């Protein structure tokens, strides 16, 4: 199965907490919950999340201070949940390093859209052409090239090859590949990865070029120099 993205919710109001936990879990996120500032910081340290939803008015330590401390530890995306008209909370939150805020009450769909936007924003920017050994992947034309021979790629072949090119020499587990290329709602028991790796091998190895996408038995695949 896919490895879900992890959302940490730091919110003292039980009704909102339960609503977020249920809704985000249903959307496929792994949800961690904290009821106050200090336990939120502990949770972020022990189980690093991909994004934090952070209430402002919290017992123990307010959300602004929690935000400042989380920000000091890295560039984790932080979405503040602010009171409806508390403009000063928004400003303080942004000043403390929050990436965005959402006034309560909010529509769940809007929350999801903000989360997706923040998670997209932290993706590293793409170079125009990835290169590994004598293989190239052009992010503009979405074509591959090896030793001067250009080949076309279907949408999924492109995504899979880009994942390999972004992670050279790193073993990618089947779970990671499912997660990044096919998304969460894909059942894990199919041989779709094998099928697409075979397609990519046919294209990248045409003309007797040696293998670059290697099988790591029982785990997944790795883009590595020919053996």
Site residues for Ca ion, 30-59, by CB under 5 A, read 55, 57
Question: How far apart are the C-alpha atoms of 95 and 63, rounded to whole Å?
Answer: 12
Which one, 70 or 193, has the nearer CB to Ca ion? Answer: 70
Q: Which residue is nearest to Ca ion (CB)?
A: 57
CA–CA distance, 61 with 51 (Å, rounded to integer): 19
CB of 217 to Ca ion, least distance (A): 50
Q: Determine the Cα–Cα distance for residues 148 and 214; give it in Å rounded to an integer.
A: 22
Give dist(CA 159, CA 165) in Å, integer: 10
Q: Which is nearer to Ca ion, 14 or 185 (CB)?
A: 14
Give the Cβ contact number of residue 31 at 10 Å: 20
Terminus-to-terminus CA distance in the chain, angstroms?
Answer: 30
Footprint of Ca ion on residues 112-171 (CB under 5 A)? none
Which one of the spans 12-20, 70-78, 89-97, 102-110 is the region binding Ca ion (CB under 5 A)? 12-20
Stretch in the footprint of Ca ion (CB under 5 A) among 10-18, 22-30, 86-94, 185-193: 10-18
Binding-residue pattern over the window 53 to 92 for Ca ion, x denoting contact by CB under 5 A: --x-x-----------------------------------
User: ∠ at Cα 95 (78, 57), nearest 5°?
Assistant: 65
Least separation in angstroms between residue 137's CB and Ca ion is 47
Shortest distance (Å) from residue 117 CB to Ca ion: 24
DSSP structural state of residue 148:
T
User: Three-class SS of residue 137?
Assistant: strand
Q: How far is the CB of 58 from Ca ion (least distance, A)?
A: 6
Smaller CB separation from Ca ion, 111 or 137: 111
Binder to Ca ion among 4, 5, 6, 12 (CB under 5 A)?
12
For 7, 14, 43, 101, 206, the CA distances from 58, given in Å and listed in that order, are: 18, 12, 15, 16, 60
Contact set with Ca ion (CB under 5 A): 12, 55, 57
């Amino acid at each position: 199965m896919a490895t879900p993205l992890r959302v940490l919710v730091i919110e003292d109001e039980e009704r909102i907490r339960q609503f977020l936990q249920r809704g985000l879990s249903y959307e496929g996120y792994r949800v961690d919950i904290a009821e106050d500032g200090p336990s939120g910081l502990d949770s972020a340290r022990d189980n690093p999340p991909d994004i934090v939803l952070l209430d402002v008015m919290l017992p123990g330590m307010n959300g602004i201070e929690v935000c400042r401390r989380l920000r000091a530890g890295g560039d984790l995306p932080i979405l503040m949940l602010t009171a409806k008209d508390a403009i000063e909370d928004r400003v303080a939150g942004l000043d403390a390093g929050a990436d965005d805020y959402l006034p309560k009450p909010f529509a769940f769909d809007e929350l999801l859209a903000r989360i997706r936007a923040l998670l997209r924003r932290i993706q590293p920017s793409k170079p125009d052409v990835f290169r590994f050994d004598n293989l190239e992947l052009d992010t503009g034309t979405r074509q591959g090239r090896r030793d001067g021979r250009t080949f076309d790629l279907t949408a999924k072949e492109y995504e899979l090859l880009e994942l390999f090119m972004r992670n050279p020499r790193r073993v990618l587990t089947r779970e990671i590949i499912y997660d990044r290329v096919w998304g969460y709602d894909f059942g894990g028991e199919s041989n779709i990865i094998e099928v697409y790796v075979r397609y990519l091998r046919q294209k990248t190895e045409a003309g007797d070029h040696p293998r670059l996408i290697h099988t790591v038995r029982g785990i997944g695949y790795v883009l590595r120099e020919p053996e």
